[in-house]
């Protein structure tokens, strides 16, 4: 497979505890042509003791800032996601943790979007999270002020 020209990406984990939940997302804004960064995650202890939750919404990031993350994506064996297993109606899970990793590739001619994914080893997930944290540190000062 050749180079993937991706237009969006999400690394997401949801659980009942904020300490283990996070959401990192990049998406191409069709009007401006800029990649926008959204994130929500618990601040690492070494970041800043005053910040508990780091959040950004629609902050533009540059291709240069995405270069390392893009290199990681290019090295993954991306493929269309498999069909989910059927849900067992008799099985009840009160605290289900969900994890999602996907990359979007848009076709502007027919306005379709194809989702790709790859199984991530623990060290790959950690490296992606590290790169998203670095992106947060670069982009946080450009975030619009909230009222």
Question: pLDDT at residue 110 above 90?
Answer: no
Q: How confident is the model at residue 147 (pLDDT cuts 50, 70, 90)?
A: very low
Question: pLDDT at residue 97 above 80?
Answer: no
- Where in the chain are the domains? 8-82+97-142
More confident residue, 35 or 88: 35
pLDDT of amino acid 48: 61
Using the CB atoms, write b or e for 14-32: b if 16+ within 10 Å: eeeeeeebbbbbbbbeeee
Highest average pLDDT, of 53-57, 62-66, 89-93, comes from 62-66
Q: Listing from the earlier edge strand, what are the strands of the sheet with 22-28? A: 53-61, 35-42, 22-28, 8-14, 98-107, 112-116
9, 131 Cβ separation under 8 angstroms:
no
Count other Cβ atoms within 10 Å, centred on residue 9. 23
138, 132 Cβ separation under 8 angstroms:
no
């Amino acid at each position: 497979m050749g180079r993937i020209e991706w237009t969006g990406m999400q690394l997401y984990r949801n659980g009942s505890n904020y300490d283990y939940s996070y959401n990192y997302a990049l998406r191409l804004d069709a009007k401006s042509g800029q990649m926008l960064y959204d994130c929500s995650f618990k601040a690492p202890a070494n970041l800043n003791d005053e910040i508990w939750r780091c959040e950004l919404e629609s902050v533009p990031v540059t291709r240069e800032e995405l270069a390392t993350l893009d290199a990681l994506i290019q090295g993954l064996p991306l493929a269309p996601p498999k069909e989910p297993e059927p849900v067992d109606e008799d099985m009840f899970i009160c605290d289900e943790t969900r994890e999602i990793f996907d990359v979007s590739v848009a076709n502007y001619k027919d306005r379709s979007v194809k989702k790709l994914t790859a199984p991530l080893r623990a060290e790959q997930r950690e490296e992606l999270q590290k790169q998203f944290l670095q992106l947060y540190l670069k982009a946080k000062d450009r975030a619009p002020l909230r009222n």
